[in-house]
Amino acid sequence: MPIIDRKVTLVKSIKNINCKINGLTKRFINTLDEVEDETERMDELMEYIHNNINDFKIMFTKYNCLPEININNVRFRLYYYDKQLKGICGIDLDDYYGIELYQYDLIIGGPNHGNLIINGNYDENINDYDIIHNLNTSSRMINSPILKSIEDYDCIDTFKKIIQNMYDNNHKMCTNNDIKRKQFKSYIRKHRVELITDVYKKLSKDYTFVLDYSDGGRETYNSIMTHSKILINDINREVLGFSIDKEYFILCKNLKILVNNVRKDMQEWYENVDKYIDNIANDKIGVSDISSVILKYV
């Protein structure tokens, strides 16, 4: 292979490392589950409330003990069980601001699911303290004089299931994505070492065709020596990691040996061949003997 082709092949191999890694990373990102952020989930929940507002209005009319309730004066307080935190979490909907007191609070989800609170100290309420009406379907009795049919209360139970499923699915997708990221991180770090190893194997064979004693050649030599030293330092940090796996450790160890050997060979060639050329010039060695002198060294 001509010298220029060897140089082109080596340069392409170096540039292709980042190109290949970036390409694999982009394709990996496209495999991740699309997880909604909290704002998007809150918007969906508010949309559900608005779309089913009539069902909630009808439910309130089933209780003779309740006043006529304006649904716009009801704040929906939503809760779900968080599997990661292993506890009940509340959802702050964007349509409600700060700690502003609403005439009524309807609790969906959590241990107080189904509680309708008539807030005390509210101007339009006659009660000085909070009055709680339990609409919880889990405590219904078929013979209860208050309840006419379980279907009358499907809206709060359905909403509770929707909320829980939404956050369960979110947790599942986040967990799956975390597993994928961990697996990809392990794969890509090994693959990067393999790509770098391939470059240094080529360099170990072809460095004599890449280096010369021109200004450009010196710049190439210094650049390779500088970056190879940085690479060795990076490898040293990697192998000291506490979570490093055996396969990755071996790849890094072998790469370090290879890089050090290349550095040694390049340094000896670059420093000593130049000296032999000077000796040839100073000793006035004939052209016919130059190749034999250099080959003895090489």
**Is residue 151 very low, low, confident or very high in pLDDT (cuts 50, 70, 90)?**
low
CA–CA separation, 202 vs 46, rounded Å?
61
Q: In the prediction, which pLDDT does 138 show?
A: 43
- Predicted confidence (pLDDT) per residue in 163-221, tens digit: 999 999 999 999 999 999 999 999 999 999 999 999 999 889 888 877 777 777 788 88
Record the tokens describing residue 204, joined without a space: 């170990």
Where do the structural domains in the chain lie, given as residue ranges? 3-31+177-297, 38-175
- Determine the pLDDT at residue 10: 73
- Identify the CA nearest to 240 among candidates 227, 253, 230: 253
**Cβ pair 127, 118 in contact under 8 A:** yes
pLDDT, one tens digit per residue, over 221-269 is 888 899 999 999 999 988 886 566 889 999 999 999 999 999 999 898 8
Cα–Cα dist 245/235, whole Å = 14
Q: What is the DSSP string of 97-160?
A: -TTPPPSEEEEESSTTTTEEEE-TT-TT---SS-EEEE--GGG--TT-SS-S-GGGGHHHHHHH
Mean pLDDT calculated for residue range 15-20: 86
